[in-house]
Structure 1
Amino acid sequence: MSYKPVTHVLFDMDGLILNTEDFYMIGYQEVASRFNKNFTFELKCKIMGKQTHELASSVINELNLPLSVDEFIVETRKIFDKLFLQSKVMPGVEKLLRHLHKHKIPMGLATSSSEETYNLKVKNHHDIFELFTYKTWGSSDPDVKRGKPYPDIFFVAAAKFPDKPSPDKCLVFEDSINGVKAAVAAGMQVIMVPDPRLNRKLASEATLILSSMEDFRPEVFGLPAFDDIKSE
């Protein structure tokens, strides 16, 4: 398959840059267990990428929990306040971000997280996230009217680049089905690095699916190759 060259790159955060999706699974299950409910991986896949209130509403409705959206957010936030501080950078991420930054490739963060939870997650990783000149927090930015799978966040994120690139010049990195759908709806190519448990057939719209960010070859999309690449 041939890929179109790009000039700008947009990154999701949870489950892609940081391993925070693992913590969501733990936190939601802890609350669900109080009511003898099970928060499954399948449900997690359905809600990934949604804005905070929409996500909370989906979990409550799916599991029939006797909580309001605000109550659910408060209860899970107590758990996440501790868990998020343990976040780690996913394999291959730092190498790619530093490489793109070195070569002055414009990069933007497009996460459905709120700015408040973002600050918790990145507390021990400021050096990595300082590489992003432009950041969009889907659950805080009033311009992002709808969460993924709608394309709003990627339109807003791309518009922050001073040269206003067209969608076909933007490459998106995602780990969720909703994120892939949002990027495709925005007219952008999208690389998916999913949880290994995900059935890849559910993400057939992705431009490319990788098992790890370590497998990404920038030159395939017209970006500078890694400096340590040796000709074969």
Structure 2
Amino acid sequence: MSYKPVTHVLFDMDGLILNTEDLYTIGFQKVATRYGKNFDYTLKCKIMGQQSKEFATSIVEGLELPMTIDEFLKETRTIFSELFPQSKIMPGVEKLVRHLHENNVPIGLATSSSKETYDLKVTNHQNFFNLLPYKTWGSSDPAVKRGKPYPDIFLVAADKFPDKPAPEKCLVFEDSLNGVRGARAAGMQVVMVPDPRLDRALAADATLILDSMEDFRPELFALPPFTN
């Protein structure tokens, strides 16, 4: 497959930069278990990349939980306030982000998380996230009307770069099907680093699929190559 040159890069956060998708699974299953339900991978795939009220609705309705959306969000926020500060950076991510930063490639964050949960997740990674100066928190930004798989967050995030690049000049890194579809709908190329359990046949929209960020070669998209 041929790849087109890009000048700007946008990163998803959950499951792509940080291992927080694992923490989400623990938290959601804790609530589901109380009602004898199972938060399985099929439901997880459906909600990955959605904004908070969207995924809460999907889980409450999908598992038929006897609680309101707001009750579910309140309960899980308490759980995640303990879990999220334990988040860790995924393999290969820090090397790539630092490489792009050092080579003056404009980089930004396009996460469906709220600013509140973002702050919890980056508790121990403040210096790293300072390398991503242009940040969009989908659940907190009124300009992001719809969550992934709609293109809103990527278009809003790209518009935060000072030079306002065209969508085709932006490369997105994602781990979810909703994120891939949203990036493609925005007119951007997208590198997917999915959960190993994902059926890759479902990710035909991805420009490139990798097992790990460690496998990424920047020069494929005309970005500065690694020197070591």
Does TM-score exceed 0.5, indicating one fold? yes
Deviation string, structure 1 residues 109-128 (Cα, Å, up to 9, x no partner): 00000000000000100111
Tell me the residue number matched to 2:203: 203
Q: What count of residue pairs does the alignment treat as equivalent?
A: 228
Tell me the residue number matched to 1:113: 113
1:44-193 alignment to 2 at 5 Å?
A: 44-193=44-193
The AA in structure 2 aligned to 1:206 is A
The AA in structure 2 aligned to 1:219 is E
Tell me the residue number matched to 1:23: 23
Tell me the residue number matched to 2:227: 227
2:87 and 2:162 map into 1 onto residues whose CA distance is: 31
Pairwise CA RMSD? 0.5
1:8 and 1:93 map into 2 onto residues whose CA distance is: 16
Shift of 1:73: 0.5
Shift of 1:157: 0.1
Calculate percent identity across the aligned residue pairs. 71
Gaps of 5+ in 1: none
Misfit runs of 4+, over 3 Å: none
Q: With structure 2 as the length reference, what TM-score do the two structures score?
A: 0.99
The AA in structure 2 aligned to 1:19 is N
1:56 and 1:85 map into 2 onto residues whose CA distance is: 21
Shift of 1:134: 0.4
Tell me the residue number matched to 1:41: 41
**What SS does structure 2 have at the residue aligned with 1:10?**
strand
2:94 and 2:104 map into 1 onto residues whose CA distance is: 15
**What SS does structure 1 have at the residue aligned with 2:37?**
coil
The AA in structure 1 aligned to 2:25 is M
2:142 and 2:226 map into 1 onto residues whose CA distance is: 37
1:215 and 1:42 map into 2 onto residues whose CA distance is: 26
Shift of 1:133: 1.0
Gaps of 5+ in 2: none
